[in-house]
Chain A
Amino acid sequence: DAMVIQNPRYQVTQFGKPVTLSCSQTLNHNVMYWYQQKSSQAPKLLFHYYDKDFNNEADTPDNFQSRRPNTSFCFLDIRSPGLGDAAMYLCATSRDHNQPQHFGDGTRLSIL
Chain B
Amino acid sequence: GENVEQHPSTLSVQEGDSAVIKCTYSDSASNYFPWYKQELGKGPQLIIDIRSNVGEKKDQRIAVTLNKTAKHFSLHITETQPEDSAVYFCAASTLIGSARQLTFGSGTQLTVLP
Contact = CB atoms under 8 A, between A and B. Distances in A.
A40 B107 contact: yes
A102 B104 contact: no
Contact of B105 (A42, A48, A103, A105): A42
Interface in A1-58: 4, 6, 40-43, 45, 48, 50, 55
A101 interface: yes
A106 interface: yes
Interface in B32-73: 32, 34, 36, 41-46, 49
A83 B44 CA distance: 24
Interface residues of B, number: 22
Contacts of B97: 55
B99 A55 contact: yes
A6 B44 CA distance: 13
A102 B45 CA distance: 7
B102 interface: yes
Nearest to B105: A42
Nearest to B31: A98
A69 interface: no
Contacts of B45: 103
A97 B104 contact: no
Interface in A95-112: 97-98, 100-106, 108
Given A45-B102, A106-B42, A106-B43, A101 B34 contact: yes
A76 to B, nearest CB: 14
Given A41-B106, A43-B44, A90-B43, 18 more contacts: A6-B43, A40-B107, A41-B107, A42-B89, A43-B89, A48-B99, A48-B101, A50-B99, A55-B99, A97-B99, A97-B100, A98-B32, A98-B100, A100-B34, A103-B44, A104-B43, A105-B42, A105-B43
Interface of A: 4, 6, 40-43, 45, 48, 50, 55, 90, 92, 97-98, 100-106, 108
